[in-house]
Structure 1
Amino acid sequence: MLNPSLRGKAVAVCGSTQERHGIVLAKSELAKKAGIKTGMVNWEARQKCPDLIVVPPQYDQYLKYSKLTQEIYRRFTDKVEPFGMDECWLDVTESVGIFGSGMDIAREIKETVKKELGLTVSIGLSFNKIFAKLGSDMKKPDAITVVDEGTFREKVWPLPVDELIYVGRSTRNKLAKYGICTIGQLARADAELLQRVLGKNGIRIWIYANGRDISRVMETGWESPVKSIGHGITCTADLKNDLEVWKVLLELSQDVGHRLRTHELCAGGVELTVKDSGLHARQFQTRLAVPTQSPMEIGKTAKILFEKNHHWEMTVRAVTVRAINLMDWNDPRQIHLLDDMAKRQKQERLEDAVEEIRRRFGKRAVHSALLMGDIKIPDSKIHQVVLPGMMHE
């Protein structure tokens, strides 16, 4: 829309290769037909489609138009639940008396978005959130797909199993070992087997495949309770030793500690995810003796987890630090017999002062000398964009 000369061509939005975000984030229909897939690395995409036009992401524009489209949605219903930047569930059950049938509302939304914003939208119309999401992906661009309660088996069950939400590559591969390759085969599979193979997620996707999802669309403005707070990053170059990893852990922990303060929460535990240069990810976690907001304490705990569990067979590509087992900061907390409370209180006063300086003069107004220079973290804020997580149920 912003560059009409790109219309009708094979175009892909790709992250920066220099900053290790070199994957396809979105693609045009022509690029899709050439075999380009979301998540494919840039060089592979260019091999599949030599004429591919690569453009950088424009998150400010995505966020702007996401907000504008949601404002249009809210003209038709107050139940609008975002799912990432560019998708929403709408419950229009109580709107049909005003605006007509679900199909009428879908058509009106599609035409309004096109007229006012110049964008096309693809809409799935169904009796539950799972099949509405599935329908929106079945036909693109500028389309409406209906998945009826009475006929969904004929339309949905022949599809590959990974067309279903929350069935990713790993889950697809596990299911394939048991001969489960389509959504219909998943629906007809033994629920107990799925639970043994996939845990709680096995039961969840079995329910989804059978059209039994009953989760509701949340009202506009509803916020999910914060269950964990984390910050992850793909480094600009592989980390090769403990010191390089410690610098990144400490930097990530600054953000985690700040967000804990913003939400008036404290961490009862720390979780660390490490992805090596072979793209294999491992996750570790531990409890804290005393709940904390301290970036230094969170960072040091993550450092201990790393040094205990990573044996340097491969270099490190990406790291995530997450505060877990969250508690309200104002709730009473059990002190630890061997903890030096005077030292802890002094550290908290120091970090209060640092937080206030950063609030007034900016994030980099005061920081650890260890974090000066190149610590292999990209300058861009691409990694801070929140992508879809679990839907509200």
Structure 2
Amino acid sequence: MEGPDRVILHCDCNAFYASVECLLHPAYRDVPMAVCGNPENRHGIILAKNERAKRFGVQTAETIWQARRKCPDLVLAPPHRDQYAIYSKRVNAIYQRYTDLVEPFGIDESWLDVTGSQRLFGSGPEIADRLRAEVKRETGLTISVGVSFNKIFAKLGSDYKKPDATTVISRENYRNIVYPLSVSALLYVGKSARETLQNMRIRTIGDLAHADRKALVASLGKIGGELYDYANGLDKSPVKSIYEPKEVKSVGNGLTFKRNLVGWDDIRLGVTVLADTVAARMRRSGVKCYTVQLNIRNPSFKTISRQKPLAVPTFLSKELARAAMEILADSWNPNAPIRMLTLTGTNLVPADEAPGEQLSLFEHSRQEERKKQEKLETTLDAIREKFGKDAVSICGVLQNDIGAD
């Protein structure tokens, strides 16, 4: 027999980047403003906007020119990611006063399991209201909080009413609140899944809850069954403890170039820089990857994603770059311009547990070469750690005009 329901909170900082910028620069509070990447470096995307900009219809992830068509007087602010990290830590420290079961989900939102905290601090909604008041008083930021019996519905609750609000989604009311929402509001329903569901005439979460589970699995695979469970309030995933080691599931890096990459020389340079940074991060995390994933975006923002499995797991930049170039050779016309590349190592294993190559007696020289390369790249890591990341540069990177440095 199952015990009483858990009490899960999802706390979401409202317009986080923009709110921090308004704290750092109070003049921004009185004008429509948005945080965006540097247009000169072609990172011209809206990252966050304040409430005044929101009234003009400015949306996150749209281009700057689209936003300025809606709001000609929009003030643009560059991001200060170091400050965002500081404020994120301050907010999460407040959450940790109430429970050690605090699981960040990005820089500006976290789940909390307060089931065992209620005798000390009151009911779930009471804790949510206390958190909203303390975060506002101590940081100047506002948060919206969803209170529910699982993580998925708690997140729907924090999205339901903003800013600075508490929404309770209970066993008794979830059908009235959740079922009318668009299916795209449900966590993990991306563009592809949404299109598949719409083709199945599933447009709301209620439609999804009443759909045939087997048909969903047939159309979407494993995620189809999970989405069905989420819509029906069956999510039982735990909130992780702050003391639980963070599992690294992938290591990657992306770069939007100052100009489009055209031709193999340009492409090879971009790939080499990305492979170098990703390999260094993997070594720092003590992992190797069995799969290399490459996302390629053209100037029209169309993106394709390809993967290549590796015979032997690696954290060597040369091997990551080789795999990425093989992906490009198989799937990309080198004369077609590339705006952005993202290289990611996935299917990770601990570096000290990774199996070596199964070589014949005549191929041991290749294994020795890999060991030498690992020693070389590890030495470069130590030099950069001591003297800075620019202490050692890749040949061809210096004074390039694509922004790969």
TM score, norm. by length of structure 2? 0.88
Contact 1:244–1:375, Cα closer than 8 Å, also in 2: no
Q: Does 1:355 align with 2:381?
A: yes
Contact 2:250–2:348, Cα closer than 8 Å, also in 1: yes
Q: Does 1:52 align with 2:74?
A: yes
Bigger shift: residues 89-98 or 305-314: 305-314
Q: Does 1:205 align with 2:227?
A: yes
**Candidates 30, 33, 56, aligned match of 1:11:** 33
- Give the aligned partner of residue 323 of structure 2: 301
- Give the aligned partner of residue 394 of structure 2: 368
- Give the aligned partner of residue 356 of structure 2: 333
Shift of 1:100: 0.9
Bigger shift: residues 51-60 or 18-27: 51-60
Amino acid at match of 2:319: E
- Give the aligned partner of residue 283 of structure 1: 305
- Give the aligned partner of residue 272 of structure 2: 250
Shift of 1:105: 0.8
Contact 1:290–1:336, Cα closer than 8 Å, also in 2: no
Contact 1:134–1:163, Cα closer than 8 Å, also in 2: yes
Amino acid at match of 2:359: H
The CA distance in 2 between the partners of 1:204 and 1:235, in whole Å, is 37
Amino acid at match of 2:367: M
Change in Cα spacing, 1:378 to 1:256, as seen in structure 2 (3 Å) is closer
Bigger shift: residues 119-128 or 166-175: 166-175
The CA distance in 2 between the partners of 1:369 and 1:236, in whole Å, is 19
Q: Does 1:21 align with 2:43?
A: yes
- Give the aligned partner of residue 133 of structure 2: 111
SS of match in other structure, 1:258: helix
SS of match in other structure, 1:372: coil
Amino acid at match of 1:119: L
Change in Cα spacing, 1:203 to 1:377, as seen in structure 2 (3 Å) is farther
The CA distance in 1 between the partners of 2:378 and 2:237, in whole Å, is 41
- Give the aligned partner of residue 232 of structure 1: 254
The CA distance in 1 between the partners of 2:346 and 2:192, in whole Å, is 24
Bigger shift: residues 229-238 or 150-159: 229-238
CA deviation string 1:292-329 (max 9, x = no partner): 22111211221122122212473111111122332322
SS of match in other structure, 1:252: helix
Amino acid at match of 2:400: D
Contact 1:289–1:336, Cα closer than 8 Å, also in 2: no
Change in Cα spacing, 1:8 to 1:165, as seen in structure 2 (3 Å) is farther
The CA distance in 2 between the partners of 1:53 and 1:134, in whole Å, is 31
The CA distance in 2 between the partners of 1:327 and 1:167, in whole Å, is 28
Contact 1:76–1:99, Cα closer than 8 Å, also in 2: yes
**Candidates 244, 247, 257, aligned match of 1:222:** 244
- Give the aligned partner of residue 33 of structure 1: 55
The CA distance in 1 between the partners of 2:229 and 2:306, in whole Å, is 30
The CA distance in 2 between the partners of 1:245 and 1:296, in whole Å, is 15
Q: Does 1:86 align with 2:112?
A: no
The CA distance in 1 between the partners of 2:335 and 2:210, in whole Å, is 42
CA deviation string 1:40-86 (max 9, x = no partner): 11110111222322222221221111110111111111111001011
Amino acid at match of 1:352: T
The CA distance in 2 between the partners of 1:161 and 1:62, in whole Å, is 30
- Give the aligned partner of residue 70 of structure 1: 92
Change in Cα spacing, 1:55 to 1:102, as seen in structure 2 (3 Å) is same
Contact 1:358–1:366, Cα closer than 8 Å, also in 2: yes
CA deviation string 1:176-210 (max 9, x = no partner): 22222111112112222222322222222221111
- Give the aligned partner of residue 371 of structure 2: 345
**Candidates 167, 170, 192, aligned match of 1:145:** 167
The CA distance in 2 between the partners of 1:268 and 1:27, in whole Å, is 39
Contact 1:268–1:291, Cα closer than 8 Å, also in 2: yes
- Give the aligned partner of residue 6 of structure 2: none
SS of match in other structure, 1:7: helix
Amino acid at match of 1:349: K
The CA distance in 2 between the partners of 1:202 and 1:352, in whole Å, is 43
The CA distance in 1 between the partners of 2:346 and 2:135, in whole Å, is 40
- Give the aligned partner of residue 269 of structure 1: 291
The CA distance in 2 between the partners of 1:191 and 1:224, in whole Å, is 32
* Aligned residues: CA RMSD: 1.9
Contact 2:158–2:166, Cα closer than 8 Å, also in 1: yes
TM score, norm. by length of structure 1? 0.91
The CA distance in 2 between the partners of 1:177 and 1:313, in whole Å, is 36
Contact 1:19–1:378, Cα closer than 8 Å, also in 2: no
The CA distance in 2 between the partners of 1:126 and 1:40, in whole Å, is 32
SS of match in other structure, 1:21: coil
Contact 1:113–1:119, Cα closer than 8 Å, also in 2: yes
Change in Cα spacing, 1:159 to 1:268, as seen in structure 2 (3 Å) is closer
The CA distance in 2 between the partners of 1:107 and 1:127, in whole Å, is 17
The CA distance in 1 between the partners of 2:277 and 2:243, in whole Å, is 25
Percent identity between matched residues is: 42
